[in-house]
Structure 1
Amino acid sequence: MGETDVPADPQRVVVLDTVLLDASVALDVVPVGAALVEGTEGLPAYLGPDVAEVQSVGNIMEPSLESIGALEPDLILSAKSRHEDLYDELSGIAPTVFVEAPGGDWRGSVGIVGEALGQTDRARTVLEEYDERAGALRTEVEPQSLTAQVIRPRDGGAIRLYGPGTFTGDVLTDAGLTIPEQEWEDNGILEVSTEFSGELAADVVFVSGGEAEPELPAWVRESLDAGGSRIIEVDHASWIAGVGPLGAEVILEELAGHLAG
């Protein structure tokens, strides 16, 4: 959004989107405040006990400027695609740095967070460690030539598919799985109605669920099962919303367990 002067070692950081939260914690900087995913009442459990004292500043879609200001931050991190309209107000509270979007170039976002936090070298190391773990798993998965889908049931009967251009899809392909080709939207996502359940088929189908998430219709589950798909339930908080190095680590660990079993 231009230029801003950021403290060399920010201590009171407020984050307003998932990739910024995950990346900050991965870089050992626990924010004083964070916006929550809409429909949830706390921060994701996969982030561990270190985030127990982080204060809520509203939900991601409607962060509270009053709550943010009350925390007296010395740095605010957010995403342009989320809060571009709030930039002037946020930067009036504290130096504000935006990434472009929360789930697209998640690696690039980690780099920007690292730069803003004065943790450039640590951010590079975190991503290198991720690449090593993904590469090790890929040597085991690729010979199996497995296809995979990540699907998220939505209200009204729609089902959202996550392609290679999304955070989750990126981690799966890094680990050696192949996501069947689709006519993905620009954000790497595709929504289909349940009547097109055939488009969901794959060797392994990961179904996102959790707090405030609709369930996959029983007949769709039966159809996938009858077609030979292995259905695995995963947690939305880490697999979909957990954009960042720690969420990626959870996915890789769970993948290794599921595919070895």
Structure 2
Amino acid sequence: MSLLAACGNGDDILRTPDGKPISTSTTRIAEVNLVHPARDYSKTCSSPAPAEGRDPARVVVTDPALLDAVCALGLGGKVVAVTAAPGSVPAYLGPQLTAVPAIGTAPNSGDVAAAKPDLVLTTTKTAGAGAAFKGVRSVGIDAAGWEESFKAVAAALGRPAAADRRLREFRAEADAVGKLRDAPHTQVSLVRFGPDSETIAGTGSFAGQILSLVGVQRPAGQRGAEPLKVTDDNFTVADGDLIYVSFEPDGLEHGKKVLLSDRWLDMGAPTWKRVLGVDDEVWYRASGLAAATLVLADLKKSLAGNSAEY
């Protein structure tokens, strides 16, 4: 199955993480159209990867960041608990994983007993929560990059070959999208709005890495790995052939003011209506194959277009 095919509840209704139908009336913010305003989170996760050996049946995850890999392997049904605060599971992972019990970073004996895991996935920063499950096989996932982390989670879940295959499929799809949309001839700007600031996302950001895999170019002032704060002196560095904007938590109101300002509207991409809005959580605050697939789907839909087409 193609990596871009996903599991879901079998219908085409957009739902909240708890499965309730929701309205899709918001398609534009401050004259900027959203690339995927009606995305159905229930279709994020891939189909289940078959076991290649050891196949844990009940899994506890101590760090919500590891759940992206579980989702990309289609194994969300095996997760019985997350040692995190309620609401910590990213919404983009869909209702199956957001419905998993979040039992706090210091789970009590009752929650530990109810979980009955045969595998605990931990990271260095969440090893303390994993220690509550004494006598249960525990695997630490501390890989540096998102691809290595995905492979480490897959190995712990008995699916190493599936991980390699799905990464190859993703890279092949990224290359195909780049060719389809003539990515090397487009300079894409990435702008994130905070509560009182604008930041250019660097090439080392999650979205920046996916753009690189697709073959997209960045404007001359945006080719550093680290983020760049936008100031009065460098404001036009935010311009490009196409600008993708997003809003950090509490950044929406400030972002709308900038997007409607004369200084912004005088730049090239806004003048030509080539500014599009994307999901900040997926493009920047996430990191994993499931999120990468959503970013790639956004690029496939929008890379050659402009805001008037949405």
- Could you tell me the TM-score, scaled by structure 2's length? 0.65
1:167 aligns with 2:206: yes
State the distance in 1 between where 2:101 and 2:132 align. 20
More strand by share: 1
What aligned pairs does 1:16-165 form with structure 2 within 5 A after superposition? 16-30=62-76, 31-34=79-82, 41=87, 43-58=89-104, 63-66=105-108, 69=112, 71-80=115-124, 83=125, 86-88=126-128, 90-93=130-133, 94-100=136-142, 105-142=145-182, 145-155=185-195, 157-165=196-204
Verify the 8 A CA contact 1:16 1:78 in the aligned structure 2: yes
State the distance in 1 between where 2:190 and 2:137 align. 37
Unmatched segments (≥5 aa) in structure 1: 1-6
Say which of 294, 300, 303 aligns to 1:250.
Answer: 294
CA apart distance, 1:259: 2.2
CA apart distance, 1:131: 0.8
State the distance in 1 between where 2:106 and 2:149 align. 23
Deviation by residue 1:24-78 (Cα, 9 ceiling, x = unmatched): 1111221222366x8x8364443334325311244xxxx3443873534333334
Question: What is the DSSP-based 3-state SS (H/G/I as helix, E as strand, rest coil) of the residue aligned with 2:56?
Answer: coil
State the distance in 2 between where 1:197 and 1:98 align. 43
Unmatched segments (≥5 aa) in structure 2: 1-52, 306-310
1:214 aligns with 2:258: no
RMSD: 3.0
Instruction: Work out the percentage of aligned pairs sharing the same amino acid.
Output: 28
Verify the 8 A CA contact 1:10 1:74 in the aligned structure 2: yes
State the distance in 2 between where 1:19 and 1:142 align. 33
Question: What is the DSSP-based 3-state SS (H/G/I as helix, E as strand, rest coil) of the residue aligned with 2:268?
Answer: coil
Say which of 241, 254, 267 aligns to 1:203.
Answer: 241
State the distance in 2 between where 1:108 and 1:168 align. 17
Question: What is the DSSP-based 3-state SS (H/G/I as helix, E as strand, rest coil) of the residue aligned with 1:171?
Answer: helix
Judge which range, 12-21 or 119-128, deviates more. 12-21
Question: Which letter does structure 1 place at the counterpart of 2:206?
Answer: F
CA shift in 2, pair 1:69/1:241, >3 Å: farther
Verify the 8 A CA contact 2:64 2:89 in the aligned structure 1: no
State the distance in 2 between where 1:68 and 1:152 align. 39
CA shift in 2, pair 1:55/1:92, >3 Å: closer
1:241 aligns with 2:285: yes
Verify the 8 A CA contact 1:194 1:220 in the aligned structure 2: no
1:4 corresponds in structure 2 to: none
Question: Which letter does structure 1 place at the counterpart of 2:112?
Answer: G
CA apart distance, 1:110: 0.7
CA apart distance, 1:9: 2.1
CA apart distance, 1:21: 0.7
Question: Which letter does structure 2 place at the counterpart of 1:208?
Answer: S
CA apart distance, 1:182: 4.7
State the distance in 2 between where 1:97 and 1:198 align. 47
Question: What is the DSSP-based 3-state SS (H/G/I as helix, E as strand, rest coil) of the residue aligned with 1:240?
Answer: helix
Question: Which letter does structure 2 place at the counterpart of 1:69?
Answer: V
Structure of higher CA gyration radius: 2
State the distance in 2 between where 1:111 and 1:236 align. 25
CA apart distance, 1:254: 1.3
State the distance in 2 between where 1:57 and 1:224 align. 45
Question: What is the DSSP-based 3-state SS (H/G/I as helix, E as strand, rest coil) of the residue aligned with 2:303?
Answer: helix
Verify the 8 A CA contact 1:141 1:177 in the aligned structure 2: no
Verify the 8 A CA contact 2:73 2:154 in the aligned structure 1: yes
Q: How many residues were matched structurally?
A: 238
State the distance in 1 between where 2:100 and 2:205 align. 27
